[in-house]
């Protein structure tokens, strides 16, 4: 699914200056994705430009997955603030923040 998101974001960014773009992507038999429609009157980017932008977007998506995973894992703000109030900031960091950061480390 990351490949589809990367392709869609790359294609959109490359033609966003043209009015009326309507990008449609499709999965090929080998499991990869391709843009099959750009919209009427839209000049599509070159294959090499699209591939380069897609690779850039895929890298960004992959590098930011840990942030999404961490955000999903943390309790809601109210629960965290209540924990800080009752147990202190150091205990909150040790009991709530550090385990999530260890489970979803930042890529290097």
Tell me the pLDDT band of 107, cut-offs 50, 70 and 90: confident
Mean per-residue pLDDT for 40-68?
Answer: 94
What is this structure's pTM?
0.68
Cα–Cα distance, 42 to 36 (Å, whole number): 12
Tell me the pLDDT band of 54, cut-offs 50, 70 and 90: very high
Q: What percent of the chain has pLDDT over 70?
A: 100
Cα–Cα distance, 69 to 79 (Å, whole number): 18
Please write the tens of the pLDDT for every residue from 56-91.
Answer: 999 999 888 999 999 999 999 999 999 999 999 999
């Amino acid at each position: 699914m990351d490949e589809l998101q990367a392709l869609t974001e790359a294609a959109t960014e490359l033609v966003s200056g043209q009015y009326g773009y309507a990008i449609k992507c499709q999965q090929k038999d080998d499991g990869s994705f391709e843009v099959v429609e750009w919209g009427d009157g839209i000049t599509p980017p070159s294959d090499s430009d699209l591939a380069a932008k897609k690779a850039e977007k895929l890298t960004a998506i992959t590098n930011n997955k840990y942030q999404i995973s961490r955000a999903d894992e943390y309790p809601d703000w109210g629960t965290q603030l209540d924990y800080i109030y009752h147990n202190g900031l150091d205990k909150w960091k040790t009991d709530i923040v550090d385990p999530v950061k260890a489970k979803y480390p930042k890529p290097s």
